[in-house]
Structure 1
């Protein structure tokens, strides 16, 4: 009679037992109520215990991310409180009553064991399902981020959490070419980065391997680039974007990383890193327009051999990097300063621009930036 009465008030009984849902969502609390009703009904009639509600509770807890040990502990406390409630409600004072209580206690222990097995089974089945579906789900999330489809701040936070990325930057985007179907340019890069305490999320496409990497310090950035350089081993081209703070900028960062990867990399630097300078940004923002604009200038060197043209362009690049120091440029290129001056004059004549005029210097810097990054 006591169990039957309590079963009719399953919702109130669940509330009186405390937080059997473990503080998780309303749906889980409803399932816990159904489980309590199932337990009490098994005490009332001789039918076998129905494990379905318990399995549903386990699956809901796995979905909510509740640890299994905590779930088992919560249920153990719940069953103890249920036993106390039965004793209080039943007022078992007579000899017959005490015999009934003893019988109910044995039944309850048996049902608790069956309940726990069903709940754990449901929990583990849901965990397995989540693990099997996670790669596909991560791929969808990465597609949305890299495609610029995530705009809302809270959606960004949710996506970052599901990808196991920190919510705040800075980040970089890495693009590595895939040489052949089934060939991964940067093998096991995500796990190797994790060993450096670096969080990242990666996607493998037929012709490209893309990663979003969290780099909160200059030291970690250097370690990440060193690792990627070792994995690339000079066999694949890799482009890296400049650092950015908001995951909503992933689409632009991917665009930059891909263009940087496709640029003219130095043999000594297998990983090409976009520096984020105004000049570089101007070169890559509208690549088609920029290539069309500078091609007439570059074509003025078309009659030269590849080696001779590359020597002139390399001389200008080093001269620019040394802040127009002929002496330093000569030292870096292992040639005489007069040789540097002669090469620069040849560039002036062919481009019809003067390195003594700031506007012409700015144009030539942009021309060669576009050439090295896009052509």
Structure 2
């Protein structure tokens, strides 16, 4: 701006500063009339708005009057305004509209002071208008910066509060009525239940399992709270009037990675047990699979995984003589036994799948009975053999020497 025009603007801004209370009143009136968020029932009380408008107008006019301050100090009021409006929940668009509404009264006041001076011409008008808009833009940008920073801080604080609340439920504090009520509020879940718990491994590199589960739940309108804990992604879902089977079907439509799901439960004090059940359901799945395991459908496997010591002992008792055979015979007998179980203990169907005669299947089963000294007609032996096979399939780490068997025992 030419020196003469700058001198005129500086003098005008100083005179308008003397009119600050009246200018503040006009700006506040305009904002309240145009913006619902600043009206009597809005988020910002009028006395707070008046103080804020006065402080911001003073900073703007002092900048136009040539008051020299460090940039951080000049824009501190604008940044503070942005931060406070974010804390008050005023939309950023409404904050910026209020700034734009304040521009015209400030500009009108300055031009009123310039009229009658030798620099009343069009060039001077344009120069003054441009100067005012530049200062207003700079302050508006500071408002946005303060708003965005506070918005991010509030999101982080909310996330921390949600995580702390989720952890409190996992620790079993949901039995306290006040804690339970606060948890439902913080996590955005309805009351009463039923609820269900979901667990999936968290892949830091791919991070896709979590979004797939979330997307499926969101697509079917489930209210849910999610948390990453260690190497697991966990979710607490409100089932509403739908059965768990609907949730399972939704998750299975596009499975990505392994997912374990608990049974339904009614109260938040049951969260720790539901979490444990979902984790056990997850562990019944092969590590590289892309499946959804519902605990209610995998209770035998869950029994084995829940008590690996006893399961290993049971497997050794039931299948020990087979496991001690030379590898070739051992694998044939274990394969035959597994196929026989998974086909309704039908020798004919098992023979079809293993490409042999029905009598061959019967002979192998008799060999198993002979080795164990027990009959497969004995319901206890029948049960322990089946649980022993499940142990081989789901707990290869329980006995390292059995690990090699796992891929050679098919599960049709």
- State if a TM-score over 0.5 links the two structures: yes
The CA RMSD measured in Å over matched residues stands at 5.6
Kindly indicate whether the alpha-carbon contact (under 8 Å) linking 2:315 and 2:391 is maintained by their aligned counterparts in 1: yes
**368, 380, 397: which one aligns with 1:347:** 368
Q: 1:91-148, CA deviations, whole angstroms, 9 ceiling, x for partnerless residues?
A: xxxxx9994699xx979877654432211122344567789x79x9699679949966
Q: Does 1:360 align with 2:381?
A: yes
Q: How does 1:1-375 map to 2 (within 5 A)?
A: 3-4=20-21, 19-20=37-38, 35-42=52-59, 50-59=74-83, 68-73=92-97, 75-76=99-100, 79=102, 99=112, 112-126=136-150, 144=167, 151=174, 152=180, 154-155=182-183, 158=186, 172-175=198-201, 184=205, 187=206, 189=208, 193=212, 210-212=232-234, 220-225=250-255, 227-228=256-257, 239-242=258-261, 248=271, 249-258=274-283, 260-261=285-286, 270-271=289-290, 274=293, 276=295, 277=297, 278-375=299-396
Any idea what SS the aligned residue of 1:343 has?
Answer: helix
Measure the CA separation in 2 of the matches of 1:63 and 1:352: 76
Measure the CA separation in 2 of the matches of 1:53 and 1:61: 12
Measure the CA separation in 1 of the matches of 2:188 and 2:335: 42
Structure 2 gap segments, 5+ residues each: 1-17, 116-127, 175-179, 219-224, 238-244, 397-412
Measure the CA separation in 1 of the matches of 2:110 and 2:148: 40
TM-score, structure 1 as length reference: 0.60
Any idea what SS the aligned residue of 1:19 has?
Answer: helix
> How far does residue 72 in structure 1 lie from its aligned partner after superposition?
2.4
Measure the CA separation in 1 of the matches of 2:48 and 2:388: 67
- Note closer, same or farther for the CA distance 1:371–1:101 as it changes in structure 2 (3 Å cut): farther
- Note closer, same or farther for the CA distance 1:313–1:130 as it changes in structure 2 (3 Å cut): farther
- Note closer, same or farther for the CA distance 1:148–1:344 as it changes in structure 2 (3 Å cut): farther
Q: 1:261-299, CA deviations, whole angstroms, 9 ceiling, x for partnerless residues?
A: 46xxxxxx8446545333223222333343344433333
Q: 1:238-273, CA deviations, whole angstroms, 9 ceiling, x for partnerless residues?
A: x542465679434442344245446xxxxxx84465
Measure the CA separation in 1 of the matches of 2:308 and 2:42: 50
Any idea what SS the aligned residue of 1:366 has?
Answer: helix
Kindly indicate whether the alpha-carbon contact (under 8 Å) linking 1:173 and 1:211 is maintained by their aligned counterparts in 2: yes
> How far does residue 342 in structure 1 lie from its aligned partner after superposition?
2.1
1:236 aligns with none
Measure the CA separation in 2 of the matches of 1:314 and 1:25: 71
Kindly indicate whether the alpha-carbon contact (under 8 Å) linking 2:28 and 2:49 is maintained by their aligned counterparts in 1: no
Between stretches 325-334 and 213-222, larger displacement belongs to: 213-222
Any idea what SS the aligned residue of 1:324 has?
Answer: coil
> How far does residue 329 in structure 1 lie from its aligned partner after superposition?
1.9
Structure 1 gap segments, 5+ residues each: 88-95, 162-166, 229-238, 263-268
**Larger CA Rg, structure 1 vs 2:** 2
Measure the CA separation in 1 of the matches of 2:352 and 2:113: 99
